[in-house]
């Protein structure tokens, strides 16, 4: 049977998940369970929505054709919990000229060590940008693309630099056709949902 990615959500176009116009894949399953996580709905693993790398790459190619995206971002959940499959997907995205960015609750040091999740080195090698470290609620300071100040942005290639990250500061909240909301960007979970509740959005 072909291995599948546990998918939390997919946006073919976002301006809030990295430099420029991007597609974003949110995966499900995260061992961190950080207090105040903005995507708490993706913490638990789930096989309710699964797609092969071929299927996800087709989505990304369609987004490139329709929206002229410049890259793809991986969020979650914890992307490195499914590192082998996402490494394959990231390599394919790069092969068609797209940039790659991922968040991880693990530190870069851990991901490069001998206790890293399986496939971590392959995924790191296929990324242009890594944003690492667990979300720490008391250190949430509104930094671009970083939920808390302990997190670090690592430029793994020369494709981007700090100025590109500084330009990505806004958050997009969309209503999903099947109900609920999808948050694109980095923001404090409790604050966001308090604001949404004020508008009657859940």
Question: pLDDT tens, 112-150?
Answer: 999 999 999 999 999 999 999 998 888 887 777 888 889
Q: Is the pLDDT of residue 81 over 70?
A: yes
For the beta sheet containing 129-132, the strands, ordered from the edge strand earlier in sequence to the opposite edge, are: 50-51, 5-14, 22-27, 71-75, 99-104, 129-132, 152-155
Give pTM, 2 decimals.
0.85
Beta bridge partners of 100: 72
- Give the domain ranges of the chain: 5-169
Average pLDDT, the chain: 87
Could you tell me the CATH superfamily of domain 5-169?
A: Aldolase class I (3.20.20.70)
* pLDDT given at position 166: 79
d(CA 81, CA 104): 9
Q: Is the pLDDT of residue 42 over 60?
A: yes
């Amino acid at each position: 049977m072909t291995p599948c990615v546990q998918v939390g959500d997919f946006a073919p176009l976002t301006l809030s998940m990295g430099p420029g116009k991007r597609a974003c894949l949110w995966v499900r399953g995260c061992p961190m369970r950080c207090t105040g996580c903005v995507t708490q709905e993706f913490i638990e693993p789930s096989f309710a929505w699964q797609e092969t790398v071929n299927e996800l790459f087709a989505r990304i190619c369609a987004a490139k054709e329709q929206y002229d995206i410049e890259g793809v971002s991986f969020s979650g959940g914890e992307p490195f919990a499914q590192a082998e499959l996402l490494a394959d997907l990231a390599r394919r995205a790069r092969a068609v000229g797209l940039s790659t960015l991922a968040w991880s609750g693990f530190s870069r040091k851990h991901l490069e060590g001998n206790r890293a999740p399986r496939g971590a080195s392959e995924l790191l090698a296929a990324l242009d940008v890594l944003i690492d470290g667990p979300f720490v609620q008391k250190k949430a300071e509104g930094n671009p693309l970083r939920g808390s100040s302990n997190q670090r942005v690592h430029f793994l290639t020369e494709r981007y630099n700090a100025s590109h990250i500084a330009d990505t500061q806004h958050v997009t909240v969309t209503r999903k056709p099947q109900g609920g909301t999808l948050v694109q960007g980095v923001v404090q979970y409790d604050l966001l949902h308090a604001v949404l509740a004020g508008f009657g959005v859940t």
